[in-house]
Amino acid sequence: MLHQLSANLLAAALTAALLTSGCGPGEAPPLPATRPAARRPQPPASHLEPAPVRPFAMGRPDGVLLVTGGIHGMLEICDCPGQMNAGLARRSGLVASYRAAFDGVFLLDTGDVFALDANDLRNRYILRGYARVGYDAVVLGHNEWSKPAGWLKDRLTAPPKYLSTTVGAKRPQDRLAVERVVTARLGGRSVAFVSHMAGRAWWFFPQKRLNELKRQSDTQLYRDIAGLKAAGNVVVLVWHGGEPGARKAAEQSGADVVLRGHTTHASPEFVRVAGPNGRTAYLAQAGGTENVGALAMKFDGANVGAAEWRLEVTDGRWPYDQRLRDLFDQFIREVNRRRSQTQPSPQ
């Protein structure tokens, strides 16, 4: 069974809905019972002077999701003098500006945080950077699960929270400190975040590693989402896979919002689809190093009553977080040190 999120009960409805749903051969067990957690403190960013943030057409939202994905270990775009754009230092300024402008901001990465090559030195730094930016949750995607179990255990040791709803290790000694559902209070409403690895996300996966993992079916995921909805949650699903599967999930899963992962491309397109029970579901994607997706929501009970999506470019409009540049400079120094150790002696 995947790592237990908490021993506390969210509500009797959630417990009943999740613990009574069956599992077929090879499927993961139902979601463990949990309850919405208080918002975790974010790293101080008082040294940053927030930049103005455009208001949303809807007025004051109940909650704002900031979404990134497909970073592939990128800390900054180059080893350049001055203050660079499109890297973690500018992204940190964007996030700090949004948190100063709105209540209920949740920062989420949809996966592929690590570079695919396990030996890429950036992998030793990227999560330290994410902790400094103040991420609330990171989905474990293809680039994460393809790494050896011991490699992951050595790195997933600090905030943020790690979300992997439908993938887990078969052997107890390989299990990670990951969570099957992450909850947050936004605008007085419990918002539950779940994720799913599907479709092309498994293409070219190392066979040895694939044999060590167990995967949950789409059907069981949909049952889990139904249980979370019955307990009064707004549900956000990260679909780590292709666009057709993400659209199908928006139409059938019961999630209020589906965010596509496993992509390095961001799209300004915001798709509204007819979901189950006559409700509207929303589909969006953000990926790559240059953009952050911003999803503003107003809640109607346990549903999203109105939503607005836009892409923000991580450019010079946003404050520059020197802490992240300092981290990048540490990375560059280690690169140079390693190069000097591998170069032949002049003698």
Q: What is the pTM of this model?
A: 0.87
Residue 168, amino acid: G
Instruction: Show Cβ contacts of residue 119 under 8 Å, excluding neighbours closer than 6 positions.
Output: none
Residue 14, amino acid: L
- What's 294's DSSP letter? E
Rg over alpha carbons for the chain, rounded to the nearest Å, is: 20
Domain boundaries, the chain: 12-20+62-331
Question: What is the per-residue DSSP string for 167-220?
Answer: EEESSGGG--S-BS-EEEEETTEEEEEEEEE-GGGGTT--HHHHHTEEE--HHH
Residues 121 and 128: beta-carbon distance below 8 Å: no
Please give the chain's pLDDT, 347 residues, in tens.
333 333 333 333 333 333 233 333 334 444 544 444 444 444 445 579 999 999 999 999 999 999 999 999 999 998 888 899 999 999 999 999 999 999 999 999 999 999 999 999 999 999 999 999 999 999 999 999 999 999 999 999 888 999 998 999 999 999 998 999 999 999 999 999 999 998 889 999 999 999 999 999 899 999 999 999 999 999 999 999 999 999 999 999 999 999 999 999 999 999 999 999 889 999 999 999 999 999 999 999 999 999 999 999 999 999 999 999 999 999 999 999 999 998 765 65
Class of the CATH-defined domain 12-20+62-331: alpha beta
